[in-house]
């Protein structure tokens, strides 16, 4: 298991880098912060959006059998009764009798939020060191609020704990409006909310987060084959983002620990510095959700197959991904401190992000702030941005210092405008990973980076094949 002193120190460095360079920081920080709530800065939001665009392109734009929706965060309260969330979406909670701090019973052991199955009298409160706790009780993780002008039981409503349910309630509407036939999928990226009892590990476990998931509707009997296919696609997505394959693993949930709706669930795990933890999952939800909504809403949600004249409730394969967790895995995976063998100084940090998700793809520098060099560099930055390339201009500090700043933020290429550029109309392009430099003509620069990025996208596109109809 991880969590050695070296692992903890590494995680501290990553947290510091993310705040210092504008990736992620705690929400409401000037007021002391709010537990398990994070804000994504200028670089963080670019990286998150890039990951979401790649996901959408791979699984919606390039597939004729999947369409997207954007469901509302607030839904009718009966949705959560039908789905089982009001009854089953709970974690075991214990309370310290001394200071009244609350913890997840299955996560607490001698002040560490790990392990399970230990007797509660062996637990030690992380706040006051007491070992006297209440018996565990179920705690519902959904955030409750009220709709309308009164606050009573009739106006109770919940922030969604998952995006899935709107795809089930909209199943018939999507199918009929899009004229889709089973098998087909509905995709969605959206915010979800869970009132976690315990949290930590930076922004891995938060109370507000984004999920990217698909509900893929198949004919009963074809669900197991579809499950295996989606598990393969889900693994490929992460390696396509540049994550090392050897850091990934699979965890098959035993029957006794499956969610109430699941026939089978497999999690994709990543080896973080704080331990192997879930990045994503694939679940076989059978016809549970459609049958429950059919029962509670008293609406016919059966699918009629015009080719076989069969009528049935489709089974559902659900590949689910946490967007922020994917982002954190990419940052952790790309973080590297030089040992001096790569031409950098010992200890220099490079964030080796895939070109497609790097928040800044090209940084542009004038060698000095005079003789027209800044004007040329700014023109390059403008042209790159107009071509859809994420570019950044920097004229502060020595060239070496500017290179190091961009290495630390994951920028794949740097462009330097020097005095020779005034004569030969060429600039120096430096590669983040190889440190190689080459001269490129000014009027060919946009096309040069477009080709580099297209090659990166083409390599990824070839591994997750679009479904053919």
Can you tell me the distance from the alpha carbon of 330 to that of 408, in angstroms, rounded to the nearest whole number? 14
Band the pLDDT of 122: cuts 50, 70, 90.
low
Global pTM value: 0.90
The pLDDT of 396-420, averaged and rounded, is 97
Structure-model confidence comparison of residues 116 and 397, the more confident one: 397
CB 108 within 8 A of CB 159: no
Dihedral angle of Cα 104, 108, 114, 115, to the nearest 10 degrees: -90
Residue 461, Cβ neighbours under 10 Å: how many? Answer: 15
Predicted pLDDT of residue 111: 45
DSSP state of 60: I
Angle at 228 between CA 224 and CA 232, to 5 degrees: 165
Instruction: For residue 54, give the H/E element and its range.
Output: helix 42-56
In tens, the pLDDT along 33-48 reads 998 999 999 999 999 9
Band the pLDDT of 360: cuts 50, 70, 90.
very high
Predicted pLDDT of residue 200: 76
SS3 state of residue 133? strand
Structure-model confidence comparison of residues 439 and 122, the more confident one: 439
Predicted pLDDT of residue 87: 80
The beta-strand segments (E) located in 323-390 are 335-337, 349-351, 362-366
Can you tell me the distance from the alpha carbon of 285 to that of 265, in angstroms, rounded to the nearest whole number? 9
Mean pLDDT of the chain: 91
Which of 42-56, 116-130, 431-445 shows the lowest mean pLDDT across its residues?
116-130
Predicted pLDDT of residue 121: 47
Dihedral over Cα of 21, 23, 27, 33: its sign: negative
Counting residues of the chain whose pLDDT is more than 70, the rounded percentage is: 91
Q: Maximum distance among all alpha carbons in the chain?
A: 78
Band the pLDDT of 463: cuts 50, 70, 90.
low
Cα of 66 vs its chain's centroid, Å: 20
CB 419 within 8 A of CB 369: no
Using CA atoms, how far residue 317 sits from 223, 353, 386, in Å, is 7, 31, 40
Band the pLDDT of 402: cuts 50, 70, 90.
very high
Domain with CATH 3.40.50.800 in the chain: 346-460
DSSP structure string for 407-467: HHHT-SEEEEE-TTHHHH-EEEEEETTT--EEEEEGGGHHHHHHHHHHHHHHHHHTTSPPP
Predicted pLDDT of residue 460: 67
Q: Which residue has the tokens 């510095």?
A: 273
Residue 48 CB burial class (10 angstroms; 0-12, 13-18, ≥19): buried
Predicted pLDDT of residue 467: 53
Band the pLDDT of 300: cuts 50, 70, 90.
very high
Residue 149, Cβ neighbours under 10 Å: how many? Answer: 6
Question: Helices (DSSP H) in 310-372: which residue ranges?
Answer: 323-334
- pLDDT value at 16 more than 50: yes
CB 38 within 8 A of CB 27: yes
For domain 346-460, the CATH architecture is 3-Layer(aba) Sandwich (3.40)
Q: Which residue has the tokens 């004729």?
A: 64
CB 450 within 8 A of CB 387: yes
Predicted pLDDT of residue 72: 97
- pLDDT value at 116 more than 70: no
Predicted pLDDT of residue 295: 97
Can you tell me the distance from the alpha carbon of 44 to that of 24, in angstroms, rounded to the nearest whole number? 6
Domain with CATH 3.30.930.10 in the chain: 5-74+161-331
Band the pLDDT of 318: cuts 50, 70, 90.
very high
Q: Give the list of residues 6+ apart from residue 260 with CB closer than 8 angstroms, or none.
A: 84, 88, 288
Q: How far does the chain reach from its first CA to its final CA, in angstroms?
A: 45
In tens, the pLDDT along 152-208 reads 778 899 999 999 999 999 999 999 999 999 999 999 999 999 988 777 799 999 999
| 5-74+161-331 CATH fold | BirA Bifunctional Protein; domain 2 (3.30.930)
Can you tell me the distance from the alpha carbon of 174 to that of 181, in angstroms, rounded to the nearest whole number? 11
Peptide linkage before 2 cis (omega within 30 of 0): no
Predicted pLDDT of residue 90: 65
- pLDDT value at 469 more than 70: no
Can you tell me the distance from the alpha carbon of 111 to that of 346, in angstroms, rounded to the nearest whole number? 36
Q: Give the list of residues 6+ apart from residue 388 with CB closer than 8 angstroms, or none.
A: none
In tens, the pLDDT along 95-114 reads 787 886 767 776 654 344 33
In tens, the pLDDT along 242-284 reads 999 999 999 999 998 888 889 999 999 999 999 999 999 999 9
Band the pLDDT of 131: cuts 50, 70, 90.
confident
Count of all residues that appear for the chain in the document: 469
């Amino acid at each position: 298991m991880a969590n050695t002193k070296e692992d903890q120190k590494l995680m501290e460095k990553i947290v510091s880098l993310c705040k210092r360079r504008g990736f992620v920081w705690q929400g409401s920080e000037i007021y002391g912060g709010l537990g398990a709530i994070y804000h994504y800065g200028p670089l963080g939001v670019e990286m998150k959006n890039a990951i979401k665009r790649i996901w959408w392109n791979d699984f919606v734009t390039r597939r004729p059998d999947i369409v997207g929706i954007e469901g509302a965060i607030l839904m009718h309260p009966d949705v959560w009764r039908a789905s089982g969330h009001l009854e089953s979406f709970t974690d075991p909670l214990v309370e310290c009798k001394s200071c009244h701090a609350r913890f997840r019973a299955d996560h607490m052991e001698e002040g560490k939020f790990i392990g399970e199955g230990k007797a509660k009298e062996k637990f030690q409160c992380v706040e006051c060191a007491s070992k006297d706790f209440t018996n565990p009780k179920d705690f519902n993780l959904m955030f409750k609020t009220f709709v309308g002008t009164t606050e009573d039981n009739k106006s109770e409503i919940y922030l969604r704990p998952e995006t899935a349910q709107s795809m089930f309630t909209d199943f018939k509407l999507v199918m009929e409006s899009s004229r889709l036939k089973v098998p087909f999928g509905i995709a969605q990226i959206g915010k979800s909310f869970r009132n976690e009892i315990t949290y930590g590990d930076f922004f891995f476990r938060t109370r507000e987060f984004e999920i990217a998931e698909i509900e893929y509707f198949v004919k009963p009997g074809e669900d197991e084959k579809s499950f295996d296919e989606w598990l393969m696609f889900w693994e490929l997505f992460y390696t396509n983002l540049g994550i090392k394959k050897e850091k990934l693993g699979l965890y098959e949930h035993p029957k006794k620990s499956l969610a109430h709706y699941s026939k089978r669930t497999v999690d994709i795990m990543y080896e973080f510095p704080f331990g192997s933890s879930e990045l994503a999952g694939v679940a076989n939800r059978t016809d549970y959700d459609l049958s429950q909504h059919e029962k509670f809403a008293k609406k016919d949600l059966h699918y009629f197959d015009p080719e076989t004249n069969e009528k049935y409730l489709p089974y559902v394969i659900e590949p689910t991904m946490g967007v922020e967790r994917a982002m954190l895995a990419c940052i952790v995976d790309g973080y590297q401190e030089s040992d001096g063998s790569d031409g950098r100084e010992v200890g220099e940090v490079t964030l080796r992000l895939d070109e497609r998700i790097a928040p800044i793809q090209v940084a542009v520098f004038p060698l000095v702030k005079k003789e027209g060099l800044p004007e040329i560099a700014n023109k390059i930055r403008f042209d790159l941005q107009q071509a859809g390339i994420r570019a950044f201009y920097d004229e502060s500090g020595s060239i070496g210092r500017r290179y190091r700043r961009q290495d630390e933020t994951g920028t794949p290429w740097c462009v330097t405008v020097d005095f020779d550029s005034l004569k030969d109309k060429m600039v120096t392009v430096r590669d983040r990973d190889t440190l190689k430099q080459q001269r490129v003509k000014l009027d060919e620069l946009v096309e040069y980076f477009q080709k580099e990025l297209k090659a990166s996208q083409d390599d990824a596109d070839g591994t997750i094949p679009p479904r053919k109809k």
